[in-house]
Structure 1
Amino acid sequence: MRYEIRVEGMLDQHWSAWFDGLQITSEPDGVTLIAGPVTDQAALHGLLAKVRDLGLPLISVHRVAPESR
């Protein structure tokens, strides 16, 4: 399943490795989007723990439905 995690604060692309290779996109409003495939709920909780450990305020977690083929 694909997830989009939005946090308050700016991270650049070099943080991708810390977040298990997910795509890091800084938005102009001071928000960072962390997005990509997450294998299971345990992996999702691990990502959220990393957000917490960095002290980044969590804005949203959104599960993205797979695209219709």
Structure 2
Amino acid sequence: MSETQSSTEEHHKPDLYEIRLKGHLDVRWTYLFEGLNLTHESDGTTILTVQVVDQPALYGLLRKVRDLGLPLVSVLQVDPNWANGPNVNKNKDPIIRKKGD
């Protein structure tokens, strides 16, 4: 008697996060954050928008931010269906944009 169990990972959608950093990251930083959207805010911060499959992936990204010495302001989980947010696609090249573009 064999029972088929589906993994919870197969049904889990990636979570969307905004990681806010102090200062505006230059274009040269984009290669370190492949697949992320970078947005320069008018308050002088940069938001990295990223989809992560699980908590270890998020911690890995935060470890990279720490190791690079980038000043972390906040980490916020956001609703992936938010109305005015960027179209986040992990297969896209990273972009840098200014708020309102």
- The aligned residue for residue 69 of structure 2 is 55
Q: Name stretches of at least 5 consecutive residues in structure 1 with no aligned partner.
A: none
Cα distance in 2 between the residues matched to 1:18 and 1:64: 23
Q: Please identify the structure whose Cα radius of gyration is greater.
A: 2
Aligned length: 68
- The aligned residue for residue 47 of structure 2 is 33
Cα distance in 1 between the residues matched to 2:27 and 2:50: 13
TM-score (ref. length: structure 2):
0.58
Cα distance in 1 between the residues matched to 2:35 and 2:19: 14
Cα distance in 1 between the residues matched to 2:30 and 2:38: 6
Q: Name stretches of at least 5 consecutive residues in structure 2 with no aligned partner.
A: 1-14, 83-101
- The aligned residue for residue 5 of structure 1 is 19
Among 19, 22, 36, the residue aligned to 1:22 = 36
Identical-pair percentage: 54
Q: Which has the higher strand share?
A: 1
Distance of aligned partners of 1:3 and 1:13 in 2 relative to their CA distance in 1, 3 Å threshold: farther
Question: Which protein has greater RCO, CA pairs closer than 8 Å, 6+ apart?
Answer: 1
Deviation at 1:13, TM superposition (A): 4.5
